[in-house]
Amino acid sequence: MKSIVIRSIKDVLSWEIVKFSLMIGIPLAILWIFLGYIFWPVMVSFAYKSISWIPFSIVKANGAFITLFFIWFQAVTVSFALIMAFFNVPIYRYVSKRRYEYLIISIIAGLAVFWAIVIVLNWHTLFVGIEKILTWFPFQTVDEAISWLLAIFLVYNFYILSFFLLVLVYIDPFLDAMREKHYPDLKSVPESSHIAVLGTAVRDAALFALFILIFLPFLFIPFLNIALQLFLWTWLYKESYFLSVCAKFCTKVEYKKIKSHKFSIWMIALFASLLNFLPVVNILAPFFAINMYFHWIVKQKERD
């Protein structure tokens, strides 16, 4: 599994995939910002109603937790933007294209770890400070502020969902490119069913949207919210991306054998889903999942 992860990281960091991810991710982000603006009152109202039954003490405590997470996210994004604004030209000039991609990802990962350490080391001071600030405002004001944050989480999750679906549209040429690059002798299976893949993806997308709306109040429980969010992303990627790769390269007999490795299938989706917590890098998560499934499935076919 370690070699598969390393090979997939190298593949995903190639300029072709990064460029393609940006071509999908940036317009999609603009679209969801526009849709979020249009439907903002509806989403805030829904979030407000979903937490209206929660006692103020819980709203205050968990509101501080969510606020700290939002601060971390913004700190990573803003600091990365500042670094690129001041140093992108010399970096691009003196660093090769291949190393440039690794360097950018390393900078983002480093900033994510750095700001996480800063917040953890100052957790008590920041948490108590934000909690105290929240007590200065009336319950309705705090409730509305938290509703805004939850509405942002809703928009982000629907962005992830639409990215997940859009990548499936281009999965065939992507897999063909990966096959030509790594396994030129690998043949496609003529009996593959794209209808089954599409049906599974639509079903999972609908259920994911439903689960996000149902479990929105649970985002107020510290650590459970992160675990729940990670589980939903993992579940979303697991079936559809695995089935998409298997449908193209596996016979029905091979599919049944490989599908029995449930732990590996879940772990691949989990690794890819972790990228959704990182700003900018999140656009690579779907391709990372597909790439890992591709290499892993080929290895399983070779063993059998």
**Cα–chain-centroid distance for residue 188?**
29
Residue in 236, 170, 153 with CA at minimum distance from that of residue 19? 170
Residue pLDDT tens, the chain, 304 long:
667 777 777 777 777 788 888 888 889 999 999 998 899 888 888 887 777 666 655 655 566 666 777 777 778 878 877 777 777 667 666 776 666 666 777 777 788 888 888 888 887 787 777 766 666 555 456 667 777 778 888 899 999 999 999 988 888 888 888 888 888 887 777 665 555 777 888 899 999 999 988 887 776 666 777 788 889 999 999 888 998 888 888 888 888 888 888 888 998 999 889 888 876 778 888 999 999 999 999 888 777 6
Residue in 202, 230, 234, 236 with CA at minimum distance from that of residue 218? 230
What are the C-alpha distances in Å from 248 to residues 30, 194, 243, 251, 266?
A: 32, 9, 9, 9, 20
Q: What pLDDT was estimated at residue 7? A: 76
Q: What pLDDT was estimated at residue 30? A: 92
- pTM for this model (two decimals): 0.76
Q: Nearest 5°: CA angle at 91, between 84 and 89?
A: 65
Q: Where are the domains of the chain?
A: 2-303
Q: What pLDDT was estimated at residue 237? A: 92
